[in-house]
A and B are shown apart, each in its own frame.
Chain A
Amino acid sequence: MLLRSLHFTGEEAPPFELKGSLFTLTVLHLFQLDRAAIERHLAEKIKQAPSFFNNTPVVIDLEGMTDSPEGLDFNGLYELLRAHGMVPVGIRNGTPMQQAAARLAGLPALPESRSANNGKKPERAEAALMRSRIVSHPIRSGQQIYAPEGDLIVLGAVSAGAEVIADGNIHVYGALRGRALAGVRGATETRIFCQSLEAELVSIAGRYRISEQIDPADRGKATQIHLMEDRLIIEHLSR
């Protein structure tokens, strides 16, 4: 602060400022470098949640990838991800050789934050629990509420034209008339609960059903929605 004021005293305002900030980023954990397999898998994911892959920044995690004689083709991987709506911003983990190759492709190695935590799983579970987001007002048409890395709990109605999204479960203590997307980062065990199912769309981990595909017998009922063998199941909540 002092330095800055010394530097710019009597001069015009600085054109920029550097600040540290925290972001939630999607991590693409790479297990193997089979281009065709990656492409196939990506196409499938995108089909499930097209809007999610819209210039989404991703970090490529190389944990467990061994050095191969030919090295990793980061340029090729970069192009492939870009073509599918993802923007790689850096890599994580990896051997020194992989990190050097990534740097050449313009992908910096991000400092590892999690490895220090290795073997301390309970702490992570607790952190996830802390991230539940509770919204105590109704969610109106045109509003979008997202709970990253946790559950979303809404104490009111979700109006038609509103969207509630969570990496975890979604609970709506009111009528669900808008769209609800749980487990948007692929957590298939997540569920949606609501007091009155009148939704425009419900989705779990990319599997979705639109209003038309919801059985009229389920409409207006207190329900839970979950995945069973890749199919969305709507169940009435018994009292």
Chain B
Amino acid sequence: MATIIVVTSGKGGVGKTTTSASFATGLAQRGYRTVVIDFDVGLRNLDLIMGCERRVVYDFVNVINNEANLNQALIRDKRVENLYILPASQTRDKEALTKEGVERVLNELKVGFDYIVCDSPAGIERGALMALYFADQALVVTNPEVSSVRDSDRILGILASKSLRAEQGDEPVKEHLVLARYAPERADRGDMLSVNDVLEILGIPLLGVIPESQTVLQSSNAGVPVILEDTSEAGAAYGDLVDRFLGKDLPHRFTSAQKKGFLQRLFGGS
């Protein structure tokens, strides 16, 4: 039975789609059958980041409305085996996402996949609620900045109260923090919140820190999930993140400024 993971944040522009694309790609690279669904109906982006925008025929809403079946709508990734994309509709709005429709599609996907990654739209409205409603686990993407952290806090509250698991009183949705666009030098200077600041406010386990990087922008524009750029810091950080998700115990990298980080490691500092 597949595990459903929502990638969410509350705030827009913090790296949800980038994270969804790389996370799903990473899981597939490691041999798990993975599908990533774009819940941002009307503002579809995941297909661009995944580089499959020219192959979209049918979409998520078509499947919900029984205008196409899943096999017609799922796009197979050309680079990584076991990876499929279910794109959003660009011409509809979020009202097309009915609870019954989403549940039916997820149940169908559960049969053939190990992981279902739901890329949530920003906000706390219907699209975001539907993306997280059926989730077993959540990656909460945050930038080291107060408004982003507060919005993530709000989303964590919604996960704890409005998800199916919360409504049924099941074990709560497992929460993971992804701190994206992190610049250690700026955190050291106090321009940005530090990893510890964010952890103190949100109080959920840290899954990964993704450093601010030019590569993210370049690979987005090129339609390549940044995790495939494994020589870049951001790509390597996503690789670690996926391994940690799958249970490997890896130290966090890219959390301190270069030179200092080296010295700290030498002298056993944290």
Residues of chain A having any CB pair with chain B under 8 Å? 137-143, 156-157, 159-162, 175, 177
Contact of B153 among A156, A161, A175 (CB under 8 A): A161
Contact A142 B157 (CB under 8 A): yes
A159-B201 contact, Cβ under 8 Å, with A141-B150, A141-B154: yes
Contact A160 B203 (CB under 8 A): no
Which residues from A are CB-within-8-Å of B153?
140-141, 159-161
Which residues from B are CB-within-8-Å of A138?
156, 203
Q: B161: CB under 8 A from chain A?
A: yes
* Cα A137 to Cα B160 with chains together (Å): 9
Contact B203 A141 (CB under 8 A): no
Query: How close is A147's CB to chain B, nearest CB, in angstroms?
Result: 17
**Of listed B153, B154, B172, residue having the most chain A CB within 10 A:** B153
Chain B interface residue count, CB cutoff 8 Å, equals 13
Pick the 3 closest A-B CB pairs, nearest first. A140-B157, A141-B153, A141-B154
Which residues from A are CB-within-8-Å of B151?
141
Contact B154 A161 (CB under 8 A): yes
* Cα A141 to Cα B142 with chains together (Å): 15
Which residues of chain B (241-263) have a CB below 8 Å from chain A?
none
* Cα A139 to Cα B160 with chains together (Å): 10
* Cα A140 to Cα B157 with chains together (Å): 5
A-B contact pairs, 29 of them (CB 8 A): A137-B160, A137-B172, A138-B156, A139-B157, A140-B153, A140-B154, A140-B156, A140-B157, A140-B158, A141-B150, A141-B151, A141-B153, A141-B154, A142-B154, A142-B157, A142-B158, A143-B157, A143-B161, A156-B203, A157-B201, A159-B150, A160-B153, A160-B201, A161-B150, A161-B153, A161-B154, A162-B157, A175-B200, A177-B201
Which residues from A are CB-within-8-Å of B203?
138, 156-157
Contact of B157 among A141, A175, A177 (CB under 8 A): A141
Which residues of chain B (156-174) have a CB below 8 Å from chain A?
156-158, 160-161, 172
Which residues from B are CB-within-8-Å of A156?
203
* Cα A32 to Cα B58 with chains together (Å): 73
Query: How close is A67's CB to chain B, nearest CB, in angstroms?
Result: 51
* Cα A160 to Cα B161 with chains together (Å): 17
* Cα A156 to Cα B156 with chains together (Å): 14
* Cα A159 to Cα B157 with chains together (Å): 10
Which residues from B are CB-within-8-Å of A141?
150-151, 153-154, 157
* Cα A138 to Cα B203 with chains together (Å): 8
Closest to B150 in A: A141
* Cα A40 to Cα B253 with chains together (Å): 64
* Cα A177 to Cα B146 with chains together (Å): 13
Which residues from A are CB-within-8-Å of B157?
139-143, 159, 162
Contact of A160 among B150, B156, B200 (CB under 8 A): B150
* Cα A35 to Cα B115 with chains together (Å): 68
Query: How close is A115's CB to chain B, nearest CB, in angstroms?
Result: 39
Query: How close is B222's CB to chain A, nearest CB, in angstroms?
Result: 36
Closest to A137 in B: B160
Which residues from B are CB-within-8-Å of A160?
150, 153, 201
Query: How close is A163's CB to chain B, nearest CB, in angstroms?
Result: 12
Query: How close is B55's CB to chain A, nearest CB, in angstroms?
Result: 39
Which residues from A are CB-within-8-Å of B156?
138, 140
Q: 6 additional contacts, CB 8 Å, given A137-B172, A161-B153?
A: A138-B156, A138-B203, A140-B158, A141-B150, A156-B203, A159-B153
Closest to A175 in B: B200
Closest to B151 in A: A141
